[in-house]
Every structure is written in C-alpha cells, then in structure tokens.
Amino acid sequence: MKKSRVIPILTGAATAGVTMVAVYALVVRPWHMKWGASQGEVKRSMPGDDEIPNPKIETTRAITIAAPPSQVYPWLLQIGFHRAGWYSYDALEKMIGVGDFEGGSSSRRIVPELQELKIGDIIRTDPAGGFTVVALKPNRLLSLRAKIHALTGKHLDVDAPLEEMVLDTTWAFQLEELEQREGTRLTVRFRADYPPSWQASLFARALFEPVMFLMERKMLLGIKERAEGQKI
C-alpha cells in the first residue's frame, strides 16, 4: 500500500478513535452512571456515603417496582455467591467466577433459609470472600462494604489500609414505598475509592465501570421481574 494512502487511513482511524472516546466520556458514561435515577436521587445523600466521603467512582441507579417494599426486600436478603445469585447474566457471572448459585442459576423463588441476614455477615462474591453487611433495615435498606484487589480479586478486611490497586467500596440498596400507588422505588448507590495511579484509573474507567453497569442494570431488572411476578 502506498504511503500516500496509509497516512489518510491512519488519520481517519485516529479521528474515529478520539471521537468514540469523547462520545463515551461525554454522553454514554454520564448516562450509565445514573441509569434510571432522577437528579434528586443522584444528588441526595444515602446510607454508606460517609464510609467513603471522597469516592473516585460513584454510581446511583434506580428502578420503580410495582410491588410493596415487603415484596422486594426478601430478594435482596438472599443475593450472593452460593446463595440465590445476582439476578443478572448467569452465564457471564459463571465465566468470571461469581456465578455458583443454589440450584445452578439465579433463584426465581424466595429461599426461606437465606432470609436470616445480620450485620457482620459476609455476602460472598466468590469462594475467597465478599461484601460485609454494615447496615440492615427491614424493607428499607441493605448496605454492604468490601475492599477488593482489582487485579487478583483478593478480599481484604474492611478496616485494612488501602493498597495499590485495591478498591474500597460500598454498595447500598434503599427501598422507598411510593405514596401514589402500591410500589417501591429501589435506589442503588455504589461508591469506590483507591490509591491514585494511572493503572487503577484505567482499570476503573475502561473495564470496571462498564461491566458494573451491565451487571447491575440487569440485576435491577431481574429484581423487578421477580418481585412483580411472585407473591410472597
């Protein structure tokens, strides 16, 4: 291929790449970081915010469910690895090692023996560890915290100092009863902090945030489907 033809091709590819990055940063990322949530929900404080006061990652996502909080909360209590699952993409979760569920896939029923959850319990994401339950309010709140190494998946004690490539995270699920009609507003906030480095920032922006959105959005839709379709 002649040099005179190569340069325009490379220039065009570079321009397309810069355009795609700009569209993601300015349009797609702001949309998925607050999927389903109103500006008021995004701006207000939520339980767990004080655990990570200056997060480098913060997402607020929400969904309206045509069922009372008492019909939604049990689905939250039983989430987890070797529990009822995450109500998301089971095949993908199995591929990345967080998809070993009772019954082989995310449960479509309330499992009575998985309803006993208390502060300090661990909701596992894999065999090595998971999220610690830091707050519980029946039919109102489930708040979790974990410190996870971004590359190895190793779980650290929640009180351990931050290390390079370790994410200190909180994950809060808040339920609010709708006054206008029988229903629930489920708002989920995820926060993470980590020691500053270009590697950690690249991992967070290029991989963690998009995957987290993909899985959490499906999880919210899965909870909605189950809570609306099954009476407890």
Which has the higher per-residue pLDDT, 151 or 210? 210
Domain of 61, in residue numbers? 38-229
CA–CA separation, 142 and 132 (whole Å):
11
CA 209 to chain centre: 9
Statement: residue 138 has pLDDT above 80: yes
Statement: residue 40 has pLDDT above 70: yes
What is the sign of the dihedral through the CA atoms of 53, 56, 62 and 68?
A: negative
Which has the higher per-residue pLDDT, 162 or 122? 122
User: Please, which pLDDT band fits residue 22 given cuts at 50, 70 and 90?
Assistant: low
pLDDT digits (tens, 9 = 90+) for 106-136: 999 999 999 999 999 999 988 888 999 999 9
- Structurally, the chain folds into a number of domains equal to 2
Mean pLDDT value of segment 216-231: 91
Please name the residues in contact with 86: beta carbons below 8 A apart, sequence gap of 6 or more.
Answer: 79, 80, 93, 98, 99, 106, 215, 219, 222
Q: Do residues 22 and 67 both lie within one domain?
A: no
Q: Do residues 17 and 108 both lie within one domain?
A: no
87-96 own/partner pairs: CB under 8 Å, 24+ apart: 87/218, 87/219, 87/222, 87/223, 87/226, 88/215, 88/216, 88/218, 88/219, 88/222, 89/214, 89/215, 89/218, 92/215, 93/215
CA–CA separation, 78 and 131 (whole Å):
13
CA–CA separation, 220 and 88 (whole Å):
8
Q: Do residues 101 and 175 both lie within one domain?
A: yes
Q: Do residues 26 and 52 both lie within one domain?
A: no
Tokens of 100: 């070993």
What is the pTM assigned to this prediction? 0.86
Q: What percent of the chain has pLDDT over 90?
A: 56
Statement: residue 20 has pLDDT above 70: no
The one-character DSSP state at 85 is B
Q: Do residues 64 and 161 both lie within one domain?
A: yes
Q: Do residues 139 and 172 both lie within one domain?
A: yes
CA max distance for the chain: 70
Q: Do residues 201 and 172 both lie within one domain?
A: yes
pLDDT digits (tens, 9 = 90+) for 168-177: 999 999 999 9
User: Please, which pLDDT band fits residue 232 given cuts at 50, 70 and 90?
Assistant: very low
**Maximum mean pLDDT: which of 62-66, 87-91, 179-183, 228-232:** 62-66
CA–CA separation, 95 and 86 (whole Å):
14
Statement: residue 231 has pLDDT above 50: no
Contact 67/227 with Cβ under 8 angstroms? yes
Q: Do residues 63 and 42 both lie within one domain?
A: yes
CA 196 to chain centre: 21
Q: Do residues 24 and 64 both lie within one domain?
A: no
- State the pLDDT at residue 117: 95
What does pLDDT average to over the chain? Answer: 86
The domain that holds 74 is classified in CATH as 3.30.530.20
